[in-house]
């Protein structure tokens, strides 16, 4: 009669030596494959600091050069294989930071769109905007709002969304971006800023 093992077998390991089971290895390879796919979406500015092996960089470049669906699929599998030979943590961190930045950019675009629609629809929106962003060129803002409102009565969408409509959005977006930068700067402790200045003066 066969004895039952004294402890339940851990599905992550296949023997007493503690080697990963086939299912665990399969899951790890799938995770690396997915991570490699996300890596292909990073811009070069995010990839360079990772100091990836030349073989992986070449594989990523070849992936972006490939045009056919099947070719991209095969190249993506190759990227996944190469991912087994690198530390995945810095890559995960870079991807997470990129996604966070993209999400914030999207929120700012939505905020700019909301402000534009309010400025075009409500007279008091200009007062509220100037209250929140007093450094805005009020004359330029009023001029763009008037021109965009005038265009809004045009017959076609292209005419309604003409130059003034687009320039108003750019003014709002740039002002919000500057305000966000100033807010981040204000959050930095003074002693941290002083340390940074001292570090900058060091030879």
Instruction: Look at residues 153, 187, 193, 146 and name the one whose alpha carbon lies nearest to residue 168.
Output: 146
Mean pLDDT of the chain: 81
Q: Across the chain, which distance is largest between two alpha carbons, in Å?
A: 93
Higher pLDDT, 191 or 167: 167
121-161: per-residue pLDDT in tens? 999 999 999 999 999 999 999 999 999 999 888 767 777 78
Q: What is the pLDDT averaged over residues 12-33?
A: 71
Residue with tokens 């294989």: 81
The answer on pLDDT for 8 being more than 60 is: no
Most confident of the following: 103-112, 113-122, 194-203:
113-122
Q: How confident is the model at residue 27 (pLDDT cuts 50, 70, 90)?
A: confident
- CB contact at 8 A, 23 and 9: no
Q: Tell which phi-psi region holds residue 51, choosing left (phi > 0), alpha (psi between -120 and 50) or beta.
A: left
Instruction: Look at residues 53, 55, 73, 54 and name the one whose alpha carbon lies nearest to residue 63.
Output: 73
96-110: per-residue pLDDT in tens? 988 888 888 888 889
Q: What is the pLDDT averaged over residues 79-84?
A: 92
- Distance of alpha carbon 80 from alpha carbon 68, whole angstroms: 18
Higher pLDDT, 73 or 160: 73
- CB contact at 8 A, 127 and 115: no
- Distance of alpha carbon 126 from alpha carbon 142, whole angstroms: 8
**Burial zone of 119 (CB within 10 Å; 0-12 exposed, 13-18 middle, 19+ buried):** buried
pLDDT at 146: 93
pLDDT at 18: 56
Q: Which residues neighbour 91 within 8 Å (Cβ) at sequence distance 6 or greater? A: 35, 39, 50, 83
The answer on pLDDT for 79 being more than 80 is: yes
Does pTM surpass 0.95? no
- The percent of residues above 70 in pLDDT, for the chain, comes to 78
- CB contact at 8 A, 72 and 65: no
- CB contact at 8 A, 32 and 84: yes
pLDDT at 104: 83
């Amino acid at each position: 009669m066969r004895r039952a093992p004294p402890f339940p077998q851990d599905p992550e390991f296949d023997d007493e030596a503690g080697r990963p089971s086939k299912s665990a290895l399969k899951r790890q390879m799938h995770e690396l494959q997915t991570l490699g796919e996300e890596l292909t979406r990073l811009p070069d500015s995010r990839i360079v600091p990772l100091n990836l092996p030349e073989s992986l960089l070449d594989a990523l470049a070849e992936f972006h050069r490939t045009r056919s669906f099947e070719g991209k699929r095969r190249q993506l599998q190759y990227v996944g294989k190469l991912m087994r030979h690198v530390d995945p943590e810095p890559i995960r961190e870079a991807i997470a930071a990129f996604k966070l930045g993209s999400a914030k950019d999207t929120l700012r675009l939505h905020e700019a769109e909301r402000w534009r629609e309010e400025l075009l629809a409500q007279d008091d929106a200009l007062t509220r905007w100037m209250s929140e962003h007093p450094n805005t060129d009020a004359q330029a803002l009023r001029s763009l709002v008037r021109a965009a409102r005038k265009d809004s009565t045009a017959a076609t969408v292209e005419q309604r969304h003409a130059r003034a409509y687009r320039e108003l959005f750019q003014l709002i977006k740039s002002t919000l971006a500057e305000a966000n930068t100033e807010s981040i700067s204000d959050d930095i402790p003074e002693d941290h800023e002083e340390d940074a200045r001292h570090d900058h003066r060091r030879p």
